[in-house]
Structure 1
Amino acid sequence: MVTKGGNRDTITGAVVVAVAALLLALVYIKDARKSEDAGYSVLARFNRLDGVTVGTPVRLSGVKIGAVAEQSLDPDFRAVTRLRIEQNVGLPADSSAAIRTDGLLGGKYIEIGPGGDDQMLKSGDSILYTQDSMVIEELMEKIIEQGKGKRGYAGRPVPSVTN
């Protein structure tokens, strides 16, 4: 049997949950509209995206100026990213885009290298100069090879150590 006080607590709890859900939905809608309305889009083509997803930050000199808005493949099987850039940030037409990693095991981001052109990129333009992501396994392999080369073991098996 439910008491009068228990019924009131249930109703109060339901109202609190409903208000919290409404506030959360409003914040989400506001953020979605802000990201769609503000700024302009440019395209960048890469051979590999490795870890770059929709929402990945786009940075210029370490400052976030946008995010990856969309990904697709072109007819040559290259990865095409649509980057949403803040309206107040002008990028020279000869700017470059490189996929970088935050630290050794950090997340990926796209770093924009500003060019020196007087013309600025407009919405729908493409960044022509891109650099793909370095796969961590390939990087470790290169480091190991360099280490072996400095020891004089490049291309030869490392001798075993026995006592």
Structure 2
Amino acid sequence: MHISAKVDYAVRTLLEIARASRLNQTTVGLGVSIAEAAPVVKAEAIATAQRIPPKVLESVLGELRRADLVISRRGPEGGYWLARPASEISIADVIRAVEGPLASVRGERPEDVRYPGAADSLQRVWIALRVNLRAVLENVSIDDIARNQLPGFVESLTEDPGAWSRR
């Protein structure tokens, strides 16, 4: 699977906003209301922290906004914040927001492709691939990554020495 720069930037953007949310949650416990603690993050701050070109970030934020993953406000007090808790935003949600379906074959969904003859069973391979992508990407949230507490199955997968081998 190819992870595009746009997907990488989108995930990192949401992680930066989630980090601000986590920092602001501590102030809520200190007597500040939830409304006052709403984390608004400026695009410039995200671009600087994650070294994302500002024009690219602007495009990514637009796609995240259209996918209802972030909310924005204009003006001097403006910025971006998560549209829902980071624990409810999966990596799959982010990929779908900026690139479309997790797996496609020549632009079609795997269940829609048909092959003749010897390639007949290839469709099931593509569907199995999509199932495995979903198994990871739909079960890892922005919050998991922001807290550096990945699900156990991800840790197990990455502990396999073969996971780190180039092929």
TM-score, shorter chain, exceeding 0.5: no
TM-score under structure 2 length normalisation: 0.21
Q: TM-score, normalised by structure 1?
A: 0.21
Q: Which has the larger radius of gyration?
A: 1
